[in-house]
């Protein structure tokens, strides 16, 4: 996996797909970084305009009031998630994965993070070849974001 910063986008090249996180998406991540020891994990969903093997991630939804948040955990509101998926789908954008913050500089997914994205994969009817998991840490991009592809 190679991660670079190109034209203010974070570009990640996987074996099967190239993921571009747009400046708009990075702005959402930035706004929710877990900078204080007391701040809580935040997260949401990622939506992309898929052009062949290039996934342009152009929208990231933020935390909702019905989400339950703690410093080391994040439980999304599943009904709101399905509504977000439907809304973006009618605008031509595919649901391509989830993101959340971690209180560490260069973030890595926890065992539980991997378990939950695998669970989403199993329970979803997907139109994509897999799902992304983005973890947002404290370091500047691209070091401060971890992107993994799960299929
Ligand atoms: Zn996590």
- pLDDT at residue 105, as a whole number: 94
28: helix, coil or strand? helix
For 121-151, write each residue's pLDDT tens digit.
Answer: 988 888 898 999 999 999 999 999 999 999 9
The Å distance, Cα 112 to ligand 1 centre, comes to 7
3: helix, coil or strand? strand
How many domains does the chain fold into? 1
Average pLDDT score, the chain: 90
Cα distances (angstroms) measured from residue 69 to each of 5, 76, 108, 118, 122: 30, 8, 19, 21, 24
Task: List own/partner pairs for 61-70 with CB under 8 A and 24 or more apart.
Answer: 61/28, 62/28, 62/31, 62/32, 63/32, 67/43, 69/40, 69/41, 69/42, 70/40, 70/41
The Å distance, Cα 84 to ligand 1 centre, comes to 21
For 96, the token pair is 């391509």
For 41-69, write each residue's pLDDT tens digit.
Answer: 789 999 999 999 999 999 999 887 777 77
In the chain, DSSP finds a helix count (H) and a strand count (E) of 3, 10
Q: What is the pTM of this model?
A: 0.91
The Å distance, Cα 137 to ligand 1 centre, comes to 10
Q: Give the structural domain span for 124.
A: 2-150
- pLDDT at residue 92, as a whole number: 95
Alpha carbons within 13 A on the beta-carbon side of 95 = 21
Does residue 37 register a pLDDT over 80? Answer: no
- The CATH number linked to 108 is 3.40.140.10
Does residue 1 register a pLDDT over 70? Answer: no
Q: Residues of the chain with pLDDT > 90: what percent?
A: 68
Cα 100 from Cα 70, distance rounded (Å):
12
The Å distance, Cα 103 to ligand 1 centre, comes to 9
């Amino acid at each position: 996996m190679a991660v670079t910063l190109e034209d203010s986008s974070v570009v990640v090249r996987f074996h099967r797909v190239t993921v571009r996180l747009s400046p708009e998406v990075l702005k959402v991540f930035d706004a929710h970084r877990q900078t204080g020891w007391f701040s809580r994990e935040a997260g949401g969903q990622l939506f992309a305009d898929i052009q062949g093997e290039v996934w342009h991630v152009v929208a990231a939804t933020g935390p909702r009031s019905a989400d339950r948040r703690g410093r080391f955990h994040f439980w999304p509101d599943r009904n709101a998630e399905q509504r977000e998926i439907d809304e973006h789908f009618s605008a031509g954008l595919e649901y391509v994965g989830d993101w959340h913050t971690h209180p560490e500089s260069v973030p890595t997914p926890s065992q539980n993070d991997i378990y939950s994205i695998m669970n989403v994969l199993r329970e979803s009817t997907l139109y994509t070849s897999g799902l992304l998991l983005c973890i947002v840490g404290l370091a500047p991009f691209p070091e401060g974001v971890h992107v993994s592809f799960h299929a």
